[in-house]
Amino acid sequence: MGARAGSSRSFVTTAKPAPALGGTTLFPPDAGVKNQKKRERRADVLSYTCEELTEPVTIAGRPSVRLSIEGDPGPWFVRLCDVSLSGKSVNICDGVTGASPVGEVEITLSPAAHVLLPGHRLRLQVSADASPSYAAAPACSRRTILDVPERRSVLTLPTIAGVSA
């Protein structure tokens, strides 16, 4: 999705955790569907975006992400977003792990029922935190998402064929 195959990407967490900006949270001003521009501009939030869709895609169920990782152990946060024709990115669902060892981590996201329209793109955000909804990762920890033939990161998306908005 977006990044070239065989291109691993790294980031370093900062003393100021990435903001949650929506999703399932008990912090009412930040709950629900939100514009993700502020998160996606950060160096400690990696984004992977697919090409524009030519047909509607209906997500129905619990997506999952398998990350092949290196670096310092700690939590991982992932979020799926719908990117409109205008480029506005809004959250669909997200998931988080506790402290994860180096190697591979499987993250099951919250349930989703969402239709991506033709011309829209699906985006996956990967970061170490989403504050204040989830505990922040230690500052200055190094993280790498691997994308090499022997260690691929994979998004599994539950879809329903033939359903559109």
Q: Is residue 5 over pLDDT 60?
A: no
- Cβ count within 10 A of residue 148: 12
- pTM of this prediction exceeds 0.85: yes
The terminus-to-terminus CA distance of the chain in angstroms comes to 23
> What is the 3-state secondary structure of 89-155?
EEEEEEEECCCECCEEEEEECCCEEEEECCCCEEEEEEECCCECCCCCCCCCCEEEECCECCECCEE
Determine whether domain 9-160 maps to CATH 3.10.129.10: no
Q: Structural domain boundaries of the chain?
A: 9-160
Q: How confident is the model at residue 6 (pLDDT cuts 50, 70, 90)?
A: low
Contact 53, 121 (CB under 8 A): yes
State pLDDT tens for residues 34-93.
999 999 999 999 999 999 999 999 999 999 999 999 988 889 999 999 999 999 999 999
Q: Is residue 30 over pLDDT 80?
A: no
